[in-house]
Amino acid sequence: MNQDFIYRKFRDYYSRVEVKAPSQIEQREFGVGKDKKIDSRHLMFKSQDKLNFYLRSAVPFYISYSAAYYEFPDARPMPNKHWLGSDLVFDLDTTDLDLSCDHPHDMVCKKCMRQITIECSRLVNQFLRKDFGFKKDKMRVVFSGNRGFHVHVFDDEVFDLSQEARREIVDYITAEGLKVTRRGEGKQVLGPKVGSSGWGGRIALVLQDSIENSANAKEFVRKTGIGMSRTISKIFKNKQNSLEALSTGVWSKAQLTEENWDGLVLEVARKLRVNLDRNVTADMARLMRLPGSLHGGTGLVACEIKDVRSFDAFSDPVVFGDETVATIGKKDMQFTLKGKDFEIEKEHKINLPEYAAVYAACKDLVNIIE
């Protein structure tokens, strides 16, 4: 019953909208699914018309397209597709965050979404724009339709980067393998100065700022959330020397050993890095949710976002109407959509507006009664 209901609603959606084709659609591979995200792949569509015709007639519950461009997108096995290049893609998902929310893994709350939004905004502004120098118009942020965001970079510069190169980019963003100190003459330990670029400069600046604005070690720990009390106490034993170490780049001026510094740097980096799904970026044949399509696990639309910070994941991607639908709860669960709270109770009848009914049916929280 639920499947039929979802199918009809999805079909209505696809018949009233025109889903925009991804750039160079004829070079992209598509994958579609009903029960799982991808039941079959190696599909291709030559034009936006053909894509929309397919969506209206086949009504997939999930549809994704390749970050890669191929000469023959529908050829198989993979090597026969003749890879031409790939967009650079990033996948941010609340499940990659270390959150202490008490709801089940497959649900999202406002807290999860707020955190993943901050991550996304940091990825775009601090890393992709500032460090990597990508122009704003070469990037696109897309709500995944469920628990996070996809960031696509379309730039001729990254088009043909190898898998190893893409891994290096992920390692940069996640601070994997970071080491900013080095040995100078004698027992000298050198590190980045405040004002230098890259990770080194970023860390020196944050440390300087936190030390300057904390009266003592306790306050530093409280403000930064870095719990290395022994190392922090050493810093505040001679605050002036510690600050001088950071402004001159001679880190041995502070009362810290190289190991102390390295440990502290990793702790700071852990706060400043972006947590993302490392495999997605390195996988050059990855299929990504098609913007404008519906997510079969939520009934929300995967939509392109102009401003991440003002995006409301519990309203903006809702595309269904208010007509009442009768349902029976399958489990106890609460969720919020379009500013309204819904409380589903197991084996209790509840009338839901269509948009909430679609969401609850996709999440398998209710049975539709018709």
Partner 1 sequence: MATHDELVEAVKFPFTARAKEIAEEAGFSFDNPNEVVLETAKMRVLSAVKPSVRFRLGESVSETGLVVELLSFPVAKIFVSLAHDYTLSKKFAQSESDRLRRNLQLSGDPSLYKKLAAEIGIKLVNGKVRFTDYLRALPNKKLVNTDMDGGFIPVDDALLVELIANTFKSRILSEHSKPTKLPKIFQIYTKEIKDEINVVSYEQDFGSLNVDAFPPCIKALIAEARSGKDMPHQNRFVLSTFLVNVGMPTEQIVKVFSATPNFNQKKTRYYVEYSAGKKGSNVKYTPPSCKKMQYYGLCRNKDSLCQRVGHPLSYYAMKKKSSGGVR
Q: Which residue has the tokens 């970026």?
A: 281
Place of tokens 């209206």: 56
By CB under 8 A, is residue 192 in contact with partner 1? yes
Give CA separation, 113 vs 110, 122, 308, in Å: 5, 14, 11
The residue among 74 and 131 lying less far from partner 1, judged by its C-beta, is 131
Residue 104 or 133 having the CB closest to partner 1: 133
In angstroms, what is the minimal distance from the CB of 156 to partner 1?
Answer: 10
CB closer to partner 1, 200 vs 291: 200
Our CB check for partner 1 shows the closer of 133 and 227 to be 133
Of these, 95, 196, 241, 257, which contacts partner 1 (CB under 8 A)?
196
φ, ψ for residue 220, nearest 5 deg: -60, -50
When binding is defined by CB under 8 A, the residue of 47, 162, 229, 324 that contacts partner 1 is 162
Q: Which stretch binds partner 1 (CB under 8 A): 53-61, 168-176, 207-215, 218-226?
A: 168-176
Residue 137 binds partner 1 (CB under 8 A): no
Quick check: 355 and 338 in contact, CB under 8 A? Answer: yes
**Closest CB to partner 1 among residues 63, 175:** 175
Residue 279 near partner 1 by CB under 8 A = no
In the complex, least distance from residue 324 CB atom to partner 1, rounded to whole angstroms: 52
The correct pick among 12, 74, 96, 171 for binding partner 1 (CB under 8 A) is: 171
Query: Can you list the pairs that 104-107 forms with residues at least 24 positions away whose Cβ atoms lie under 8 Å?
Result: 106/297, 106/363, 107/333, 107/335, 107/363
User: For 194-206, b where at least 16 C-beta lie within 10 A, e where not — what string?
Assistant: bebeebbebbbbb
For the CB of residue 257, give the shortest distance to partner 1 in the complex, in Å. Answer: 20
Instruction: State the number of binding residues for partner 1 (CB under 8 A).
Output: 31
Asked if residue 236 binds partner 1 (CB under 8 A), the reply is: no
* Size of the chain in residues: 370
131 in contact with partner 1 (CB under 8 A) = yes
CB of 197 to partner 1, least distance (A): 4
Burial code of 1-13, b = ≥16 C-beta within 10 A, e = fewer?
Answer: ebeebbeebbeeb
**Nearest Cα to 151, choosing from 302, 315, 317, 314?**
302
- Nearer to partner 1 by Cβ, of 273 and 363: the residue is 273
Which residue, 160 or 343, is less far from partner 1 as judged by CB?
160
Stretch that binds partner 1, among 25-33, 189-197, 256-264, 356-364 (CB under 8 A): 189-197
339 binds partner 1 (CB under 8 A): no
Q: Which of 198, 223, 247, 304 binds partner 1 (CB under 8 A)?
A: 198
Find the part of the chain contacting partner 1 (CB under 8 A) among 43-51, 129-137, 225-233, 314-322.
129-137
What part of residues 72-101 is at the interface with partner 1 (CB under 8 A)? Answer: 77, 79
Tokens standing for residue 105 = 């893994």
Give the Cα separation of 310 and 216 in Å (integer): 37
Taking the complex as a whole, how short is the minimal distance between the CB of residue 325 and partner 1, in angstroms?
Answer: 47
Residue selected from 158, 203, 235, 243 as contacting partner 1 according to rule CB under 8 A: 158
Closer Cβ to partner 1, 58 or 78, answer by number = 78
Question: Which of 63-71, 163-171, 229-237, 254-262 is the region at the interface with partner 1 (rule: CB under 8 A)?
Answer: 163-171
| Residues near partner 1 (CB under 8 A) | 77, 79, 130-134, 157-158, 161-165, 168-169, 171-172, 175-180, 192, 196-201
